[in-house]
Amino acid sequence: MILSSYAQGVLPMEWFGIALIFVASVLFVADLKVIGHGLPSLGGLAVLILGISLLFNPTGFYLLASLVALVAVTILMGIFFVGGLSEARAAQGRPSTTRTEGMIGEIGIVRGPVRSSSPGWVFVHGERWQAITAVAPEDAHKQGCEQVIEAGRRVQVVDVRDGQVLVLPLEPAPLVQELG
């Protein structure tokens, strides 16, 4: 519709350039909303170049300045939409690194003895957390034994419950026989 108005002479050249810049903006926004792998952005850049070049009088003495502005705007928009959007899409596939989801799988150091019956302290993810030992499936059959993880040992977080982390030692720990 815009192209036919320009071809029939109904729409002056400057307004046609503004209309093409608007179409380029629509394509950029469409690339934000849909997964087009950057194709709407590339189309938007092409339409933006055409719209800006039609916006200025090509016979004017300021043609060189308008071409420099055209190149600068196009390069900046291309870097932002093609480069920035591809990075944003890549970030969507990465696992969460915040809140409790980011804690699971992290490696920490025991600061105070950790037992399954009483909490101890571990240093994980740059913070001190109260921790209890999680019972590994291979240790579930051992009755009357409590796993103790001593200070200085490395542990891995397997869950976060009620403000405490459940940890498993990275190396096997000695079992301590409970008395009485």
29-60: pLDDT as tens digits: 888 777 767 788 888 888 888 887 777 766 66
Same domain, 112 and 172: yes
Please state the domain count of the chain.
2
Same domain, 78 and 33: yes
DSSP state of 14: H
Same domain, 86 and 128: no
Whether residue 99 is contained in a domain is answered as: no
- What is the pLDDT, as a whole number, of residue 180? 47
CA atoms within 13 A on the CB side of 7: 4
Contact 131, 106 (CB under 8 A): no
Same domain, 42 and 65: yes
- pLDDT tens-place string over residues 53-111: 777 766 666 777 777 877 888 888 878 777 777 677 777 777 666 667 777 888 999 99
Same domain, 114 and 154: yes
Whether residue 28 is contained in a domain is answered as: yes
Same domain, 86 and 121: no
Domain of 31 in residue numbering reads as 2-92
Q: How far apart are CA 79 and CA 59, in angstroms?
A: 30
Same domain, 87 and 35: yes
The residue behind tokens 């008395």 is 179
- pLDDT tens-place string over residues 154-180: 999 988 888 888 888 887 655 555 554
Q: β-pairing, 127-133 with 114-115?
A: unpaired
Whether residue 100 is contained in a domain is answered as: no
